[in-house]
Structure 1
Amino acid sequence: MQNNNDTYKTVLKPSKEILLKEKKSKFIGYVFPITTEKDIKPIIENLRKKHHTANHVCYAWQLGVTQPIYRANDDGEPNNSAGMPIYGQIKSFNITNVLVAIVRIFGGTKLGVGGLISAYRNSAEIALKEATIVEKIILDTYKVSFNYKEIDKVMRIIKQHQLKINVQKMEMKCSIQFSVRQKDSEKVESIFKTHHEITIRKMNS
């Protein structure tokens, strides 16, 4: 299915840590950009090492654009009192490819489930406000193959549609990999397909 809205919001870089105090408990918030699930475990492990006296490192993350996946982790806090309030802020800021982690250092006074929900939600909100949120464009990648004599024709199409060349191989048999905005990809693909001497193949989906 063609996605006409081919942009999404994410965070540019890891944010500065933020601190929220609630009844002597400290809630330390972080925001990280991520690209795969494999990014998450090392980040959480590093936070546990950095805050070795922490009682909990709770977090939530989301990955993907058209069919995003997410997880929320309470890390020993009462069920749904930490991870889901954090995830709620990820949804509220409408961002993806992001991990929000809140480290809690217990201050001796229990907050109750309602107090925990509020503290984790507020910490996540403050952390996300401190983060640098950027808009990114979703790109599709294609490969065109052709004989060298067709080079002018191919380059003219690339120039007309401002396509970004990623890789090119110029010999008797040539190939070019290029990126195009997702909302323009079907149009560009159809233009290349009108030239039977040029073959085009989508590299990602």
Structure 2
Amino acid sequence: MITVKENFSSRSVIKKSIFISELSPISSEERAAGLIEETKNKNKRANHYCFAYVLGDNRELQRISDNGEPAGTAGKPILDCIEKNDLSDVLITVTRYFGGIKLGAGGLIRAYSESAEKSIKKAKLFASEKRQVFKISFDYGSFDTLKYFFKKNDIDTSKISFGEKISCEISVKSAKASLSLRKLQIF
């Protein structure tokens, strides 16, 4: 899955209309709704707040809005840019300040596509692999061996606590989870 870690924005002027595109990472529909509302609040005088977002490992959740633009001329072109770049867990909003010149359907599609694509090109994209988290505990005598095992097998540790035994959470790439857990059983 390809996504972003931080927000990226771009600004374009097309036939006197200003288009502000913002690409943001999201993890839920609630987060997307909050960011869309923030965009509206900081651009109160804008004419249109169009968006598209995609969520899920298989990009199963998709939403778009033309927000008053002719149907299919804003949200769909933004979504097409997200899909073309294989992005997921992202929101792109494109805010338009109307400049007085009508662009027509084809012009709007190009303007919204170019605006979305511009923020994607500025973004630092990365491939994200899903991970599974497990809680484990072990004896103190195994600590150094397990630290080496975790490092060698790309297993992240967190929430380490020292009591009668050492306990922690481990994060394993989903694709390697079953193999890593089988290897851990020898400790």
Tell me the TM-score range normalised by the shorter chain.
0.7 to 0.9
Deviations 1:15-41 (A, max 9, x none): 1332131x3222221111222222222
Task: Give the % identical residues.
Answer: 31
Q: Which amino acid aligns with 1:58?
A: C
Per-residue CA deviation, residues 61-92 of structure 1 (Å, 9 max, x unaligned), is: 11222453211111111222110100100111
Partners of 2:4 and 2:124 within 8 A in 1: yes
Of residues 42, 55, 58 in structure 1, which corresponds to 2:47?
A: 55
What do you get for the CA RMSD once the two structures are aligned? 2.4
> Residues of 1 paired with 2:65 and 2:32: CA distance?
12
User: Partner residue of 1:13?
Assistant: 6
Q: Is the 8 A contact 1:20 1:123 kept in 2?
A: no
Cross-structure match for 1:164: 156
The equivalent of 2:17 in structure 1 is: 25
Q: Do the aligned partners of 2:20 and 2:96 also contact (CA within 8 Å) in 1?
A: yes
SS at match of 1:137: coil
Q: Could you state the TM-score of these two structures normalised by the residue count of structure 2?
A: 0.85
Matched with 1:5 is none
Q: For the residues of structure 2 that align with 1:177 and 1:72, how far apart are their CA atoms?
A: 38
Correspondence list, 1:24-173, <5 A: 24-146=16-138, 148=139, 151-152=142-143, 155=146, 157-173=149-165
| 8 Å contact kept, 1:63–1:70 | yes
C-alpha displacement at 1:124, in angstroms?
0.9
Structure 2 CA distance for partners of 1:160 and 1:33, relative to 1, 3 Å: closer
Q: Distance in 1 between matches of 2:143 and 2:48?
A: 61
Given that 2:49 and 2:95 are in contact with CA atoms closer than 8 Å, whether structure 1 keeps it comes out as: yes
2:7 counterpart letter in structure 1: P
2-structure distance, mates of 1:172, 1:106: 67
Provide the TM-score with structure 1 as the length reference. 0.79
